[in-house]
Structure 1
Amino acid sequence: MRKDAFGIALLLLLQVLWISSAVAEDQEPRRVVLDNGMTVILLENHNSPVVTIQAWVRAGTVTEQEFIGSGVSHFVEHMLFKGTDRRSVGQLGEEVKAAGGQTNAYTGYDRTVYYITFHRDSFDKCLDILSDALMNSTFDPAEVEKEREVILKEIKMNRDDAFRRLYMRAQLTAYAVHPYGNPVIGYENLLRNLTRDDLVTYYKRLYIPNNITFIAVGDLDADDAFPKIEAAFADFQRKSISPITVPSEPPQEGGREYSEEFDVTVAQSMMGFHGPSLFSDDVYPMDVLAIILGGGDTSRLYRELREKQGIVYHIDAWSATPRDPGMFWVSSSFEPENAEKVRQAIWQQIEKVKAEQVTEEELETARAKVLSSYLFSRESVEGQARSLGTGEVEAHDLNYDKRYVDSVARVTAAEIQGVARKYFFEENMVVTALFPRGKGPAAEVVQREERHVPQIEKTVLSNGITLLLRDGPSTETVSIKSIFLGGALAETPETNGITNLMSKTMLKGTKTRSAEEIAAAIESRGGTMSSFSGHNSFGFDVSMLSSDVETGLAVLGDVVANPVFPEQEMQREKMAALANIKSVNDEIFSSSMKLFRETMFNGHPYSFLLQGDPEVIASLTPDDLRAFHTKAVNPSRMVLSIFGKIDEERVIDLVQEYFGSLGPVESPAPSAFPPDFPDVITRAQRELNKEQLSIVIGFPGVTVANPDRYPLDVLTALLNSQGGKLFQVLRDEQGLAYSVGAFNLVGVEPGAFVMYILTIPQKQDDAAAGMLDVIRDIKESGVQPQELERAKIELIGKHAIGLQTNSQIATEASFDELYGLGYDNYKTYDEKIRAVTAEDIQRVLSLVIDFDRYVMVRVGDVDMQGE
């Protein structure tokens, strides 16, 4: 067909579809937010005497928090129609049937949806049933166990079904951190460990009116329906809901693959690429591209691989775009001996789309298919309600469907080529496959995966500098870090603050560059440069485009080797340091941590404030900084890391050129002496006129090199998260805390295990006792398997999130190397966390938590007691 004929056909189709859509919907939807926070959406459609009511709860895989991976959202969905205060088990379903209705529910990544569709005469009855289930489900213990067995059977069915197994494996391979990698139904072991109390906790947390959108579509009178809905939920009380932080999936640094042998007769595969989220304008060309590549018998992949080459039995493509970035998938089935042919043929079609724009004929056909599929899905009242729910709950735009139709109609060939080039590259690719037993290419998969992982190369230069290089070819940036052992460890009470002042003033002038010239050299090329100073080390951080790596190294080398410490610049940095010290003393939590360090690490450098002692800062001179610099900048205690897109040989030459002048320094190691921890309960307090009061409790801890740090990390996760023990008991149950948490403070010398709480002065005694009671309970009762698993998953996820960029990886590798752990120690963190057992937790609790030996500090209106 000629191009103009396709254009006419598309326009006619759109007109027909929009007309039918307008006929189906007599008016615009009405949206009202009730006083309790529930959003109500009503849409009249009088084409048939049918109504659907739907409750969209913002509860799904991504909201499970401490229950992550357990499928608790899906489990609660199973339980919601299993009885309420007014209706016995089975009665809800029977009443729906008696009203001539049909009911069902489904759970997704971002929402759980319940719906009843019925004759319009049953509106009152069905509204009462659904509202009762939402507000008053009882979670009968016997029914919980029955439904657990039902879900376990579903899990086994999913494992036995080839495509479901393949899809779950594909998601798990694609998402290393984001909860989209977890099956909605949950993992069997975590599901088995869920208790009725867990279900009720989750239900009460998220099944609240301000987290629910209620939709009614069909043969109804909105003016009549709305007051009925308002009355049905009149006793449904708004509750506070804490924001849920969902970890972002870090960019892939290399293609990921997974294959296994399974009971199939032909091979099945899914090839995918990380793509856009629902909120991206890339959604529209990606949807059209999916049709062009794999949407039906006229698609490119079907015509080429099935019809022309005959190497697949089935092939299609689709773009999945949930709230967070989704995936573009190509699914196929074939004889196992054709696996590589199929892979290459798909890739050739992908490269063709990237190299050449699609034809106008293909574009118009694909647009028509996307639009017709989208609009025809809305012919039923259920489809219209689903469209409204997706818009309101997921896209935050009630008219998203209209915007989608308009946007798809305007997609151009250039936009399609643009998204293909943006997302379709090997480092962004995921491939999973099931092969008949005895015919799986497992070895090849491992080799291909390994080729994409950048490695760190370590070199020790002749002057003692440890150089770490990591060539990451998929990025155009470079991170340069120069760190030195020292920091507060190299200070005394008479020099406290000199490291911080020195490192900041080093950026303010060298023998050949002024402060302005240093800043201009970096910033004019879009780079950044900063200093840092901690209790165990100090150093500098430079970020540049890869093409400007020489500039970054030249300036950093000059700053490190040739600072002149100008008097005027030093005075400015002194004023800034003194202001920071005042801020520390004025802010309640930082002030309490300062007092805690002073009390726990009495006299040890770990007790020092990094900004320094005000009297010391005021007395320091440029000569003091120069003298300290000659000892602190020691190449034998220095790690220089350069991570990014680099030419390693050239970079080594540049390092020799710009850092080779640093000569060996004879100075004692900055390690002072291990802290002399208090051997009894030690308390300290400081009055501060604040509405809140901060309490910090700490126990003597371990060093960064001590393997017990990993069980202690897991213990902090058990305590910390929103579902952690401290949060549950002290905030949710007892209402004692604004903020509460724990952390494991480690260093070259032993640190501390710390808990903290921000409360009101009147509840300070209860809050202090409560923290000790929580840790005492864990020490005496142990941890439950599901709690331990959740804590480990949380830590591994956070660790992965913290290793997304060149700078993040360089930071961890450099510090680990500096502290004697080895530059590749970060690669073993996940393994060490996974290996932590409940027995390990109890062991470190026995070693660290001594209720006759701890430090407690209070800062705030300490003298105010009682209610």
Structure 2
Amino acid sequence: MTVRASPVWTSGVRKEVLPNGLTLLVQPDHSAPVVAVVTHVEAGFFDEPDRWTGISHVLEHMFFKGTRRRGVGAIARETKSAGGYLNASTTYDHTSYFTVLPASGLEAALDIQSDALRNSVIDRDELARELQVIIQEAKRKLDSPSSVSYETLHEVMFDRHRMRRWRIGREAQLARLTRDDLWAYYQSRYVPGRTIVAIVGAVDPDRALELARAAYGDWTSAPGAVDRSPLEPERHEVRARTLRGDVAQAELVLGWRAVPPLHPDAAALDLAAAVLGSGRGSWLYRSLREPGIVTWVAAHHYAPTELGVFSVSAELRPDRLESAVDGVAQAVSRLALVGPSAEELDRARTLVRARWARRLESMEGRASALAAAEALEDVGLLDREYALLAELGPAEVREAAARHLVPDAVAGVAYLPSGSGRDLTADALSRAFAVTELRPALTGSAPPRPAQPPPIAARPAEESGVWVTRLPGADLLVSRKAGVPLVNLGIYVPRRRFDPPHQAGLGSLLSRSAVRGAGDLGAAALAFAFERLGGTLGTSSASDWLGFGASVLSEHLSQAATLLLSVFSQPHLAEADVLAERGLMIAEAERVADDMFRYPFQLAFSAAFGDRGYGLPVGGIPETLAAIAPADVRRWHATAVAGLRPVVVAVGDVEPARASDELAGIFAGRPPVAAAELSERVEWMPGAGAETPVRVVSRDKEQAALAMAFPGPSRRDRDHAAAQVWGAVASGLGGRLFEALRDRRSLAYTVVATAWQKARGGALLTYIATSPEREEEAREAMLAELERFTREPVAEEELRQAVSYLAGQADVSRQSGGAVAAEILEAWLAGRGLEELADPAARFRAVGAEDILRVAAASLDPSRKAEGVVRGTGAGRRVPAVSG
């Protein structure tokens, strides 16, 4: 199908190819005062011969390790000083480097990025140290059940193509790489003709092009090398593999070979994936997630340059594997034989198009998309793909599914707990897909659109850029964020009371049960009602508030608000729905034990606050969830939600006065109620003279993960900004802990330090994951670095760098309407009010070295430390595979 598309996402793009072959793309976007620079190099895992498996990713790491002009760490420190962050990612067909910072820093960003791209020294000693870090990253992936499952699926699906390999390489492969290997790959792949630099943000395009020419124009042209992957032969065969290991829940991934991104069927398969797995109204959600067969399910069509993979992924209890496979088989067969109805496709299409808007809302997302489109064909591909999504009909989606999602070519991987559940075999998979019962579709017909009350004159007052309307029974906060045609809308109440300790998770169970039906709409109709507006109804269950929200197309603000009010005020909370959701939450709570980041912190918070308040996860734990009855949920709604004064937040491409009037017409009927304050501070348990609490869980994992928590300033404390500056000094690329523990000692891939701040308490947190045999070394090294903060002021340059970074990120974070809405909500419910929004950088600039020293001395007392440890065995373990 030939599609002619007017510019939607590429409006204003300027393209220039320099004489050396490098491509420049510049797009002005003044919706936020920031700029993104994305460097897209056409070198990825597909371009690696077997002897160099993982080398693209290793080179990505060495990109930050110094040039002839900049020593180790200087790239990160200079970027941080300019108020920006930088990062990188390596995938199958390219490596991407990006930095986002205030627009005034464009010249500095281009100087730093071009120097790193062109002049990496790849120091031999630095490479040896960084390889140890990357080996820790590879071990971390082995401890991630979803990563193991998905990459094993590729190994099962492909026999020759490089898609089948473990992407970043395994320990033995990485250890063999030498400086000569890295240099040869760098010199042959990192050449101008394989490089695209995309600049998007609040810039003058002429000036941006001038700066980019100066930064890249004298880079010497070179032919570059190409090492293509072996081609994959055609195959029609069902394949399966079962993995077993120390996991709490099961993973299921099913896949088919699909099509590359420029294939005529690519867009139809994108829509097919959305019909199956996007939103609460999707086929798989309704048939598998809603009845509790799986705890999570999704469908994807992933298409790097040379091929494609269509996959369905699910998380579930091991005893439900057969039911899940049957459910996926039924849905995929229906898609290929019957196809979606026009209403079902419109629902999926609206979600996909809104997802595009969210992805391209940020400068970084737009720059990355422009560079990727240019690498494939040209930037206009973005607009053509977007237009094609609107033109495809149900028949074309069904036909694409029938061509590619064939029963005799499915592959599957199941990752099961040792000793639980039946293996997934090729015979069982063949039977499931060979004969399927085409049950009636569960989505039903589209519900009628809700009646809209007329707007009333709200007469909002402007406070720090937010239009505030104080109704008798609700507060309305509206802010305009131009850029994409979306509005982020939510309704929230403060958690005046924590969940009862023996029923932790009660608030989360309430909010999740509420979205299963409200007012006149059942679960399917409610999901459909939101998703045809461009958004999915979501819940927000945080430590300090509960609520509901959705991001929808701006034109549908009133309809979305009417639906949200119904969910907030009139949820069904039917017994069967609450029990089904409770079962899913218990399974999810069990699964937290598989997360090597979340679980150590859950243990640490339990040690810090005890079995109450912030010491229990908002999602509960299995035993507390099991103690909640449906009647408890209904009572909690009456006392902890319906009886409180809500705040309604709307941020997006709306006119504030008109939006306030529309919202006032919807919420004016709520009965008067006073605001509830979150004032009672939660006590920190560990104290001087008491034994330092350490909660340890041993697992068959590759790493030991340590989370430490120290008492710190709350969100409303006068020192809360000083604590945040401490976190910026300590953590991130260019941070003190990063350089001491990762760069110099190669202890870990992930090192984190941050200020955790809530309305009624706070903490300074650290995290490190390392090899089990180095656990004590990592603990001692972390504590030694923290102790330095308590006895000596941070250096002037460290302070300047951290303050500049936080001030810059205050602007950068406001690229997204969702982020702005979250900032408004936090200031209103957990902070000191909307005045915080006027100049967020000011509070960081007011912090001095003595403030950080005071906070560190008061907080980083080892006798008040709480610690959570997940201790792996780490003896070179490999997940055992059982072929089906």
Q: Give me the TM-score of the superposition, normalised by structure 1.
A: 0.52
- In the alignment, which of 91, 95, 103 is matched to residue 175 of structure 1? 103
Q: 1:61 to 1:808 in 2, by over 3 A?
A: farther
State the one-letter code of the partner of 2:867.
M
Q: Secondary structure at the match of 2:618?
A: coil
User: Are the aligned partners of 1:481 and 1:811 in contact in 2 as well (CA < 8 Å)?
Assistant: no
Q: Does 2:221 correspond to 1:387?
A: yes
> What secondary structure, in the 3-state scheme, does the structure 1 residue paired with 2:822 have?
helix
Corresponding residue for 1:701?
Answer: 712
In 1: Cα distance, 2:708 partner to 2:197 partner: 29
Output aligned runs, 1:628-707, within 5 Å.
628-633=636-641, 637-664=645-672, 673-680=681-688, 682-689=692-699, 690-707=701-718
1:483, 1:527 → 2: CA distance? 15
Do 2:682 and 2:761's aligned partners in 1 also have CA atoms closer than 8 Å?
yes
The amino acid of 1:466's aligned partner reads: D
SS in 2 for 1:744: strand
The residue correspondences of 1:611-626 to structure 2 (distance < 5 A) are 611-626=619-634
1: CA distance between counterparts of 2:521 and 2:822? 27
Residues 593, 696 of structure 1: 8 Å contact kept: yes
Match of 2:465 in 1: 456
Q: Closer, same or farther in 2 for the Cα pair 1:237/1:574, shift >3 Å? A: same
* Secondary structure of the structure 2 residue equivalent to 1:525: coil
Where structure 1 has 5 or more consecutive residues not aligned to the other structure, the ranges are 1-16, 18-30, 40-54, 72-109, 112-170, 187-198, 211-231, 257-271, 278-317, 325-373, 375-382, 398-403, 419-452
Stretches of structure 2 that go unaligned for 5 or more consecutive residues are 1-18, 20-46, 57-65, 83-95, 115-119, 132-177, 191-195, 227-304, 306-370, 385-461, 876-884
Q: 1:430-482 CA distances to partner (integer Å, 9 max, x unpaired)?
A: xxxxxxxxxxxxxxxxxxxxxxx99734434332422111234x445343433
- Corresponding position of 2:476: 467
- Residues 306-345 of structure 1: pairs in structure 2 closer than 5 A: 320=212
Secondary structure of 2:517 counterpart: coil
Q: Is the 8 A contact 1:489 1:671 kept in 2?
A: no
**Cα deviations across residues 726-768 of structure 1 (Å, max 9, x unaligned)?**
2222223233224221111111112111112112222222111
Q: Secondary structure at the match of 2:205?
A: strand
Q: Using a 3 Å threshold, how does the CA distance of structure 1 residues 688 and 487 change in structure 2: closer, same or farther?
A: farther
Distance of aligned partners of 1:841 and 1:482 in 2 relative to their CA distance in 1, 3 Å threshold:
same
Name the aligned partner's letter for residue 465 of structure 1: A
- Amino acid paired to 2:220: R
Q: Spell out, residue by residue over 1:786-845, the C-alpha distance to the aligned partner (whole angstroms, 9 max, x if none).
A: 222222233234333322122211110122012242224134321221232222211212
- 2:530 paired with 1:522: yes
Q: 1:532 aligns with which of 520, 540, 556?
A: 540
Q: Could you state the TM-score of these two structures normalised by the residue count of structure 2?
A: 0.51
Match of 2:814, SS state, is coil
Give the match for residue 568 of structure 2: 560
Q: Does 1:753 align with 2:764?
A: yes
Aligned-partner SS, 1:643: strand
Q: Does 1:711 align with 2:722?
A: yes
Secondary structure of 2:863 counterpart:
coil
Alignment match, 2:864: 853
* Structure-1 residue corresponding to 2:436: none
Query: Which runs of structure 2 are paired with 1:778-797 in the superposition (5 Å)?
Result: 778-797=789-808
Equivalent residue, structure 2, for 1:821: 832
Q: How far apart are the structure 2 equivalents of 1:32 and 1:814? A: 47
Q: CA deviation at 1:630?
A: 1.7
1:572 alignment counterpart: 580
Matched-pair contact (CA < 8 Å) for 1:454–1:470: no
CA apart distance, 1:511: 2.4
State whether residues 61 and 68 of structure 1, in contact with CA within 8 Å, keep that contact through their aligned partners in structure 2. no
Aligned-partner Cα distance in 1 for 2:54–2:633: 60
Q: C-alpha separation between the residues in 2 aligned to 1:672 and 1:579?
A: 32
Distance 1:386 1:666, change over 3 A: closer
Are 2:197 and 1:273 equivalent residues in the alignment?
no
Cα distance in structure 2, aligned partners of 1:765 and 1:476: 49
Deviations 1:42-70 (A, max 9, x none): xxxxxxxxxxxxx9989899981123378
Residues 598 and 235 of structure 1, relative CA distance in 2, 3 Å threshold: closer
What is the distance in 1 between the residues matched to 2:179 and 2:819?
Answer: 49
Distance 1:804 1:655 in 2: 24
Query: Which structure is richer in relative contact order (CA contacts within 8 A, separation 6 or more)?
Result: 2
Q: CA deviation at 1:236?
A: 8.9
In 2: Cα distance, 1:615 partner to 1:696 partner = 23
Q: Distance in 2 between the 1:553 and 1:323 partners?
A: 49
Q: Which amino acid aligns with 1:753?
A: L
**Distance in 2 of aligned mates of 1:627 and 1:674:** 24
The code of the aligned residue for 1:589 comes to: F
Change beyond 3 A, Cα 1:477–1:540: farther
* Residues 822-831 or 563-572, more deviating: 822-831
Distance 1:527 1:249 in 2: 29
- Seen in structure 2, the aligned counterparts of structure 1 residues 625 and 529 have a Cα distance that, compared at 3 Å, is same
**Which whole-Å CA distance do the structure 1 matches of 2:639 and 2:465 have between them?**
29
CA spacing shift, 1:185–1:495, aligned 2, 3 Å = closer
| Cα pair 1:761 1:861 within 8 Å, conserved | yes
Residue of structure 2 equivalent to 1:840: 851
Describe how 1:12-31 pairs up with structure 2 within 5 A: none
Amino acid at match of 1:608: L
Deviation at 1:184, TM superposition (A): 6.0
For residues 719-738 of structure 1, the aligned pairs below 5 Å read 719-738=730-749
Are 1:498 and 2:332 counterparts?
Answer: no
> Is the 1:59–1:206 contact (alpha carbons within 8 Å) kept by the matching residues of 2?
no
Matches within 5 A, 1:341-356: none
1:700, 1:806 → 2: CA distance? 32
Cα drift, residue 560 of structure 1:
1.0
* CA deviation string 1:340-370 (max 9, x = no partner): xxxxxxxxxxxxxxxxxxxxxxxxxxxxxxx
Instruction: Supply the distance in 1 between the matched residues of 2:552 and 2:181 (Cα, whole angstroms).
Output: 58
Closer, same or farther in 2 for the Cα pair 1:201/1:627, shift >3 Å? same
Asked if structure 2 preserves the Cα contact closer than 8 Å seen for 1:466 and 1:636, the reply is no
In structure 2, the partner of 1:68 is 79
Structure showing greater radius of gyration is 1
Deviations for 1:201-224, whole angstroms, at most 9, x for unmatched residues?
9997599999xxxxxxxxxxxxxx
Residue 40 of structure 2 is matched in structure 1 by: none
Give, in angstroms, the shift of residue 701 of structure 1.
1.0
Map 1:227-246 → 2, pairs under 5 A: none
2:556 is aligned with what amino acid?
A: D
Q: Provide closer, same or farther for how the CA distance between residues 202 and 713 of structure 1 changes in structure 2, counting only shifts above 3 A.
A: farther
The alpha carbon displacement at 1:276 in A equals 9.8
Structure 1 residue matching 2:758: 3-state secondary structure: coil
Partner of 2:397: none
The Cα shift of 1:655 comes to 2.1
2:521 is matched with which residue?
513
The SS at the match of 1:751 is strand
2:491 and 2:214 mapped to 1: Cα distance?
42
Distance 2:215 2:537 in 1: 35
2: CA distance between counterparts of 1:729 and 1:679?
A: 28
Asked if structure 2 preserves the Cα contact closer than 8 Å seen for 1:177 and 1:247, the reply is no
| Preserved CA contact (<8 Å) 1:630 1:665 | no
Moved more, 663-672 or 854-863: 663-672
CA contact (8 A) 1:60 1:184 kept: no
* Alpha-carbon offset, residue 620 of structure 1: 2.6
- Note the C-alpha offset of 1:585: 2.3
Say whether 1:801 aligns with 2:812: yes
The correspondence for 1:762, drawn from 773, 782, 785, is 773
Which whole-Å CA distance do the structure 2 matches of 1:459 and 1:236 have between them? 57
